[in-house]
Amino acid sequence: MVDSPSLSTSHRIDVFWHEGMLNHDTGYGVFDTGEDPGFLDVLDKHPENSDRIKNMVSILKRGPIAPFISWHSGRRALLSELLSFHDPDYVNELVEADKKGGKVMCCGTFLNPGSWDASLLAAGTTLSAMKHVLDRQGKIAYALVRPPGHHAQPTQADGYCFLNNAGLAVQLALNSGCEKVAVVDIDVHYGNGTAEGFYTSNKVLTISLHMDHGSWGPSHPQTGSIDELGEGQGYGYNLNIPLPNGTGNRGYEYAMKTLVVPAVQKFEPDMIVLVAGQDSSAFDPNGRQCLTMDGYRSIGQMMSELANKYSSGSLLIVQEGGYHVTYSAYCLNATLEGILNLSPRSISDPIGCYPEDEAFSVKVIDSIKRYQDENVPFLKV
């Protein structure tokens, strides 16, 4: 793949990608169930399908920020690498399921022929992206991967996720000498798997801004509520920000400025990971948060500022959800524009005039702020 040596490391994004990840075939059914009721002529593609990722690849290759992108080939993770985050018995369960032709891991989460190889590629590609940053070959790396990973817990699959790509990358950073890593997850769903993996650690600050959806069953026992703060040494280092439906751009910007930025400033990480899902958008079938491109661009700008201040500009971006086949790519473009601090916007937003009313969201965010100020020890220092 062609590099862009004329670009400075702070003004390019190194994208790690492997087309083998497209071979994860999630099938058809009623939404994500995989079921055919027998009375519908046309079934949905599973929302986590390869089309969404194809458009993310194409917008970065042929879209307006293509000159700022450097492409790198991904790789498969070794089974031994998976054990830094996942339990050996769980990894073996996935290996055996693949040998037997597949398995329904939980609701909507299908390990089909080709899925395990794609999962290994997603994990290995994310590890390569993190190593690229750790080795100071680039400042900003983006792991453009699927299947997604942030719901995968050390011992079980969940929510379309088999291996926790971001969690593996965070552990690599710690094992490579980083003292503290901050993870900011903007996917519309709670990053429960990543939180679970570091729930007792004070070396990893996990922050998740998500729709207030609660638990959705045995595969996702965590609620994402504000009182899930961590345990033991990790108490206070898991910050959940459950946001009301329809929070929108101004609500998210207020949450970032009121809750996320101050927490990262207090934590002072030497590595930052942005877990990026575009399913918080106004078009997404899996979420109701009503972000548009301007909201994603603003989040990207704030994450870039935090990286420049605390991690010498180093930032790993890991792809998660985002299920509207076209608009997710637009929102990705806007996020990366914000991270690169490019202006003016390069693509017009097809729903740029979406109406907003953040008044209720602001009240919720203020109440979360009061709770965290009273209950999170490191924020009081």
Q: How does 162-186 read in b/e, with b if 16+ C-beta sit within 10 Å?
A: bbbbbbbbbbbbbeeebebbbbbbb
Q: Are strands 181-185 and 204-211 parallel, antiparallel or unpaired?
A: parallel
Is there a contact between 193 and 150 (Cβ–Cβ < 8 Å)? Answer: yes
Helix (H) / strand (E) element for 140: namely: strand 140-143
Helix (H) / strand (E) element for 129: namely: helix 115-134
Catalytic residue among 150, 151, 189, 324: 151
Q: How far is CA 80 from CA 13, 29, 88, 139, in A?
A: 29, 35, 9, 27
Q: What is the DSSP letter of 168?
A: H
What's the residue count for the chain?
381
Tell me which residue of 51, 30, 49, 48 sits closest to 39, measured CA to CA. 30
Q: What's the token pair of residue 298?
A: 């603003």
Amino acid occupying residue 229: L
Tell me which residue of 32, 28, 61 sits closest to 42, measured CA to CA. 28
HEC string of 256-281?
HHHHHHHHHHHHCCCEEEEEECCCCE
Q: What's the token pair of residue 371?
A: 């709770």
CA pair distance 180, 178, nearest whole angstrom: 6
CA pair distance 133, 354, nearest whole angstrom: 37
Query: In the annotation, is 24 catalytic?
Result: no
- Residues serving a catalytic function are 151
